[in-house]
Structure 1
Amino acid sequence: MDISRKTDYALRMLAALVRDPSGVVSVRTAARENGVPYSFARSIQHDLAVAGIVENARGANGGMRLSVDPRQTTLLTLVEAVQGPVAISCCSNPAGDGEPCPKRPTCHFSPVWCNAELLLRAFFSSVTLHELVCEGRSPLFRGTFEVVGDEEARAAARLDRADAPGTPSVPEGDARA
């Protein structure tokens, strides 16, 4: 999985909104302060507005403002709002058609990719925008890994997905679990 340049820029622009005491930042200012080309910043602002992350503030001191609570909005939510579902392989949904890869049941590597995706989603969902920007906190994985049989790995991938559709399970010891 690659974090796109667009996502990187969007996160920087959102951080500027969280840091600004007024809560409103012009797109031009956010672009300039974060090294984002202005035309690209306008496109990002539009996409963030469509996703419901920001809203436009009109007037002399207009710009954009957050329309979500940064204390409740996870990094996973923001990344997926900009670049779509966090996925590291085509195993779970290769063409975006809702159907997993037909080779998944017999593939030796599918459990690895699917479980890695679950870990990445849990990692991104374990921290909020406020924690990252205002508190200077970042997630740190301190768990361990073990090699298990294919069936156990497949079962774990299915169980984690079934626990909370759309919400990744969080590694043991996380306060949000």
Structure 2
Amino acid sequence: MRLTVRTNIAMRALMTCAVNPGKIVRKAEIAEATGASEAHLGVVINQLAQTGFIETIRGRNGGIRLRLPPEEISVGRVFRTFEANTPFAECFSARDNHCPIAPVCKLRNSLDTALEAFYASLDRVTLSDLTCNNAGLERLLSLEPVC
């Protein structure tokens, strides 16, 4: 299994916001801190805002910040948001399934069960779990000047 670039960038953006509480974070700052493309980041920020993970602030001093406390943001929910439209295997796609054994194959049910177990395990992990007491991450993503 491999996560999409958008899911990866979404988690980086959320972690950047979480380690900079109370600060409005600019897209360019996130891109620089996380090595993400600003173009990809723009698409991800839009989806994060539409799904209620962040709020966007327009204007000269605009940017983004978390809409919810980090302990209320489930990693599983973020992953589902960004991975839901990406079929795990060919047979998971109603449009692009050309597998000749799909109607009788039992593997899909096993994969579906495994995939749900994967998401369920991530439902128990919050953004706070990933960022709190993580000095290394704070050093990498903190936007405050270090003396």
Report if TM-score (shorter chain) is over 0.5. yes
SS at structure 1 position matched to 2:64 = strand
Contact between 2:87 and 2:93, CA under 8 Å: does it hold in 1? no
Instruction: Please say if residues 75 and 128 of structure 1, whose CA atoms lie closer than 8 Å, have aligned partners that are also in contact.
Output: yes
% identical equivalent positions: 24
Alignment of 1:1-177 (within 5 A): 1-84=1-84, 88-89=88-89, 93-95=92-94, 103=103, 106-136=104-134
Q: 1:52 & 1:122 partners in 2: Cα distance?
A: 20
Greater fraction helix = 2
Question: Per-residue deviation at 1:135?
Answer: 4.4
Secondary structure of 2:30's counterpart equals helix
Alpha-carbon distance between aligned partners in 1 of 2:26 and 2:57, rounded to the nearest angstrom: 9
Q: What CA distance in whole angstroms lies between the structure 1 residues aligned with 2:53 and 2:113? A: 29
| Aligned 8 A contact 1:52 1:67 in 2 | yes
Distance in 2 (CA, whole Å) between partners of 1:42 and 1:114 is: 31
Change in CA separation of 1:62 and 1:26 when aligned onto 2, cut-off 3 Å: same
Write the deviation string for residues 34-53 of structure 1: whole angstroms up to 9, x where unpaired.
Answer: 11122222222112112221
- Give aligned pairs, total: 129
Structure showing greater radius of gyration is 1
Q: Structure 2: which 5+ runs fail to align?
A: 96-100, 135-147
- Alignment partners' CA distance in 2, 1:3 and 1:11: 11
| Deviation sequence 1:129-155 (CA, Å, 0-9, x none) | 11112145xxxxxxxxxxxxxxxxxxx
CA distance in 1, matches of 2:81, 2:108: 26
SS in 2 for 1:9: helix
* Cα distance in 1 between the residues matched to 2:21 and 2:34: 17
Runs of 4 or more consecutive aligned structure 1 residues displaced over 6 Å after TM superposition: none
> What's the C-alpha RMSD, in Å, of the aligned pairs?
2.5
| SS at structure 1 position matched to 2:55 | strand
| C-alpha contact (below 8 Å) 2:26/2:64 kept by paired residues | yes
Q: Which amino acid aligns with 2:50?
A: V
Q: Per the alignment, in what secondary structure is the counterpart of residue 21 of structure 2?
A: coil
Length-normalised TM-score, structure 2: 0.73
SS at match of 2:44: helix
Higher RCO by CA contacts (8 Å cutoff, separation 6 or greater)? 2
Unaligned runs of 5+ in 1: 137-177
Q: Distance in 2 between matches of 1:4 and 1:24?
A: 26
